């Protein structure tokens, strides 16, 4: 693959963005147009790989987790081909995709593992399943057997405002079922419902990414959750292209936290769970 980062100049604050959506060039415009109509957010970029890298550079970030999801069973191999192609486990860390109805998930997970993929992204709304439905458990079990992690969209989504398929209460059921699995909940568990996160998830063995939270939860509630759950389990993330990396950074930097705890959120926690040396974070 091309080394898109050869042209980066100067020193950047150390950051790892744990949540970036990227689409192949030929479908990016259509995908973003459809998603914009569903979610009513204005994207920062068009979500091609080139544009994602450009905006990440502007935000001072050179390393990120690249996500895409299969919205149908038949699209799983093709979507994963794209993710594998651009995964270098240095600057770009791709998480694979498995659709709940994909019959050959064991074989596909083996292929992903062989290609250095370290996690799987699920979105219950766009993939039409309930997070804690037992029919999903064989897939989760196979993922965790391969020492992969799972990143879930969690809580509210404007495209599925009337469903609770990935609500904090359901996440807790899943965490209690798979106690040895590494699970990340996007959007701090539910960026529109910090009370539910506090009630069901604080103290559980779970990571939260902070994507979109500054837009809906606000700094005070974000800081309250970080202090209650502990900064070792929060991850800098933007949900690129749907929110600003600079505003996310500013929100965290302005919190009443120790500098070493901010560093954990910005990159150290991500480096640990991605199993990379902190010295390799740029």
Domain residue limits, the chain: 17-276
Is residue 83 a contact partner of residue 94, using CB atoms and an 8 Å limit?
yes
- Would you say domain 17-276 falls under CATH 3.50.50.60? no
The dihedral through the CA atoms of 271, 117, 114, 101 has a sign that is: positive
How far is CA 153 from its chain centroid? 7
Is residue 5 a contact partner of residue 62, using CB atoms and an 8 Å limit?
yes
Is residue 54 a contact partner of residue 48, using CB atoms and an 8 Å limit?
no
Q: What are the pLDDT tens digits along the chain (282 aa)?
A: 444 444 333 345 899 999 999 999 999 998 888 887 777 778 899 999 999 999 999 999 999 999 999 999 999 999 999 999 999 999 999 999 999 999 999 999 999 999 999 999 999 999 999 999 999 999 999 999 999 999 999 998 877 777 899 999 999 999 999 999 999 999 999 988 789 999 999 999 999 999 999 999 999 999 999 999 999 999 999 999 999 999 999 999 999 999 999 999 999 999 999 999 999 998
Assign residue 277 a region: left if phi > 0, alpha if psi is -120 to 50, beta otherwise?
A: beta
């Amino acid at each position: 693959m091309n080394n898109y980062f050869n042209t980066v100049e100067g020193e950047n604050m150390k950051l790892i963005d744990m949540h970036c959506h990227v689409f192949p060039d030929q479908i990016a415009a259509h995908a973003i147009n459809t998603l914009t109509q569903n979610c009513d957010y204005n994207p920062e970029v068009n979500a091609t790989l080139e544009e994602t890298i450009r905006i990440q550079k502007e935000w001072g970030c050179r390393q990120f987790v690249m996500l895409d999801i299969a919205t149908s069973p038949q699209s799983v191999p093709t979507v994963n081909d794209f993710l594998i192609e651009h995964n270098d486990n240095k600057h770009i860390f791709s998480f694979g995709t498995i659709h709940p109805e994909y019959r050959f998930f064991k074989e596909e997970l083996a292929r992903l593992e062989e290609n250095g993929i370290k996690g799987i992204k699920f979105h219950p709304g766009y993939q039409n399943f309930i997070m804690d439905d037992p029919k999903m458990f064989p897939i989760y079990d196979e993922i965790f057997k391969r020492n992969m992690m799972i990143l879930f969209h969690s809580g509210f989504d404007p495209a599925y405002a009337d469903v609770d398929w990935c609500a904090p209460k359901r996440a807790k059921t899943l965490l209690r079922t798979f106690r040895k699995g590494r699970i990340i909940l996007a959007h701090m568990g539910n960026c529109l419902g910090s009370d539910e996160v506090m009630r069901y998830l604080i103290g559980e063995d779970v990571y939260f990414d902070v994507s979109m939270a500054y837009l809906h939860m606000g700094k005070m509630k974000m800081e309250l959750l970080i202090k209650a759950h502990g900064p070792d389990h929060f991850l800098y993330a933007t949900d690129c292209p749907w929110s600003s990396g600079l505003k996310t950074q500013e929100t965290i930097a302005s919190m009443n936290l120790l500098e070493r705890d901010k560093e954990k959120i910005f990159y150290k926690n991500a480096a640990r769970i991605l199993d990379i040396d902190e010295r390799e974070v740029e």
